[in-house]
Amino acid sequence: MVKVREAQFRRVLDRGGERFAEVEVFTDHQRDSQMLAYFRAGRNDSYPLVRLITNDADYGVDWFDNSFHSAFTDVMKPLLSSPDHLGEIDRDEFAVQILGYSGVSEALERNLKI
Q: Which pLDDT score, from 0 to 100, does residue 100 have?
A: 95
- Strands 34-39 and 72-74, sheet pairing: unpaired
Q: Which pLDDT score, from 0 to 100, does residue 81 have?
A: 54
d(CA 108, CA 100): 12
Q: Which pLDDT score, from 0 to 100, does residue 35 have?
A: 87
Q: Where are the domains of the chain?
A: 4-112
List the pLDDT tens digit at each of the 114 positions of the chain.
778 899 999 999 998 889 999 999 998 877 767 889 999 999 988 999 998 888 665 545 555 555 454 556 666 665 555 454 345 667 788 899 999 999 999 999 999 986
- CA 9, 81, 24: angle at the middle one, nearest 5? 15
In tens, the pLDDT along 21-37 reads: 999 999 887 776 788 99
Long-range contacts of 8-11 (CB under 8 A, 24+ apart): 8/101, 8/103, 8/104, 9/103, 9/104, 9/107, 9/108, 9/111, 10/36
d(CA 7, CA 25): 4
